[in-house]
Structure 1
Amino acid sequence: MTLLSVGRPSLTAATPSRALRALPVTALTMDLVVILAVGTFAAMGRERFDVFDKSADVVGSLGMAGPFILLAWLLAIAVFGGYRRNVFGVGTDEYKRVMNASLVTASLVGVGCYLARFSLSRGFFFLAFVIGIPALLIGRLVLRRALHSARRHGALQQRVLIAGSQAHVDEIAVVLRREPWLGYNVIGALTPTVDLSEETSTGIPVLGNTDEATSIARHAGADVIFFASGALGSGNQMRKAIWDLEHQEVQVVVAPSVTDISSDRIRVRPVGGLPLMHIDPPTGIDASRWGKRLFDVLGSALLLLVFAPLMLVISLQVKRHDGGPILFKQTRIGKDGREFPCFKFRTMVTDAEALLARLHAEHGYEVGLFKMKDDPRITGPGKWLRRFSLDELPQLFNVFLGDMSLVGPRPPLPREVATYDVEAHRRLRVRPGMTGLWQVSGRSDLSWSEAIRLDLYYVDNWSMLQDVSILAKTFSAVVGSRGAY
């Protein structure tokens, strides 16, 4: 079957995304500006703050060494791959390359000046690299944020073809569409010759067969081809496909049937020319060990001290509103299915539980977490407490007592757990948290299935670094009131 076969969409030649080629130039320009600014500041700081001593002629030495340091720094970043198009947008590889290149530059400049007996100001050298390295990394972070924002608005997209069986094509497409900041625009699918469908079950047009990847990529103007399971019959076919695509500036990505596994658990080890993917066991059991527990105890104790005045003010407001109880205690399910009383500031009327059944019937609730905007049970103080998640501050006592953690899956209700399938029960392998991936990813705006997916990802891929990152992101999510009601 060919590209113009009956039932398949016809294609005219398209041009690959050109704006993406500007990314390396943009990064180079930004690095140049940062290094020049840092160099100017370092020279002025050396003179003004009298760093070390005044034996070196700063102006004179920089006239000769300055251009060399600038060019050497940029060249080192380029040699380490800091301007390759595939490092932008995702992962830590970009930052590692810039960091390593900067450290090598500092080493070469220092050793070179020593061997050449060149009198470079030590104060300038110190300020330039101590300030310059963080400044370059911050610049790359700003560039990445701008890139993500542009991609969410439909700019700087990479045109993607996905080759494989329909099921695997749809599986990958769902992930790419779920993360728009990656900038992957799926323009079509390539399926095996036995598949005569015009589109996949999720509506992706089938542009041809997998053995026509080279010609279709050229006509469709693709930037990337994802080869999923079922795309090619052997390793020799994959090698030939890569050879055919090497002169078309099309990036080849092999997408195995592995999803929701962090990069920390994946090791690729070539054996006899065959790259084998080793996947480490889930790390959820590590989330129950003493390191995380010590972090929770110290963190909750500190936060209780910091928020004590605010909690006192909230208590007075809740009590003064209707004279009801200050705290709302509700039974939740914790680690390994154990029940515990979860504390919150009361944000609803005193007969809220009695009204719940009627609201369930009115809104057709069947399973999962029940949330609704403009809930008539919420009190006046409760609205702003929920908006900024201040009603959850008493859960710090739950964390201190060991019922909860600062970071983890949302603590479920017993009736929710009663509806869990085997997959959802995995989220009970760790302590529930005050915040988690569900909180920084949309909170109540998430669907039930998406919330479960995020919780399972956390359980299977736990790390202390991820906990710290989630805590940092929680602040912006709460301040922005995203998904809170």
Structure 2
Amino acid sequence: MGTVDWSDGSQPNAIWLRITDFIVIILGLGLVNLTPLPQGLAPNALAVWAIVAGLLMLYCSEVFSLYRSWRLIPFADVAVATILTWGLVSVGLLFCLYFLKLDANFGRTAFVAWVSLVAVMLVAWRWLYRRYLQAQSASGQHLKKALVIGATPMASLLVNEIKSKPGLGIQVLGICDDREPDRVHADLQDQLIGNIEYALTRAAQGGVDKLFVALPMKAEARIAQILERCTDSISEIHLVPNFFIYNLFNAAWHNVGKLKTLSVYESPIRGPWGALKRAEDLTIATVALLVFAIPMLLIALAIRLESKGPAIFKQSRYGIDGKKIEVWKFRSMTTSDNGTTIKQATRDDCRITRLGKVLRRTSLDELPQFINVLQGSMSVVGPRPHAVAHNEQYRALIQGYMLRHKVKPGITGWAQVNGWRGETDTLDKMAKRVEFDLHYITHWSVLFDIQIVAMTLTKGFSHENAY
């Protein structure tokens, strides 16, 4: 089996990680048992619960590869994988509790307290352990030695990224290239330590943990030769192709049968992140509708009393993947345009009713879109949906415009809280809105969503461009 490598936290020697999880499960159970919540669990019952939970944890952890190396992965991904694993364990424990009648004294409140406490503790100890590893790496301990093949701009970016993040635990020994130093860019000359043959020989001798091949894509034949030579090495081999020339957008690898393909324009909200985003939407939308239920009824009644027509109207917009959706809004105009040509509302627009001016100024006309969120066609946070007619107009004028549709449209968004809302009477205004929308998509996280919601609440719903 070999020794446990605490510097990497992996694979196949992660026995200490499994033991720590088991201890956390027992500790959480013991802490809950000290409270009045359980009805006096006997020591043998505690042992049974701990063993069952531990065995389920061992099994479920394989589903999410929980004990593989997560060192180069954002901690948010580690936390989600941990919570999903423990959630699967909790379902199994719930089955034991209610269907197998494992222990009648373990009530629902105590069970919820236990699984909740353990979920927090599992994530917390991983965070502390990660900080410990980062501190070790920053002090020069347990570093993985790496060589970079190819004195290319991509190699320079890679080296600078590694040096700026000592917590990665990688020590770059240098860059290797067959060109003479005077033919290499000045910024890379001081990092050259040998030719490609030197790198391959050193890797074959076992003195290199990671070998990064950062040659340009046009050097396909040379890359193939290098990879063939690398079969004689136990080093980790990483290809670093210069895909950045294509301005990739959340690229992701996919399987097509036995083939690997690279999706260059991909949504970041997929898999477990999609489930988390959906849970966030359902929670916020449900609370919002409960809070605004009576005000919404009063608004609907006021609209009907002021002018003829429905209180709520639906307008066709583009949703995720460019599919048409029907967006709900309180009617604020005497007309409800929904055709191939739609005129944006302007200041002092004669179509806007007196009540409509208030609704639009305060964004109260958007409240019915929480129903869209519950339906699943919209999200609380995301790029604002534009009318179909406007989409067709701007997609031909602004590069990357349709990438906004890689996520669900939102009630509020990064562009809106930064002032890019309301009328877009110039191309520059729309381009700026798209820029902020794409920034949101490429940097999406649950914390980012919470920040946008908080900014929406603190800045208020009104804006000088809303009319």
What TM-score do you get using the length of structure 1 for normalisation? Answer: 0.48
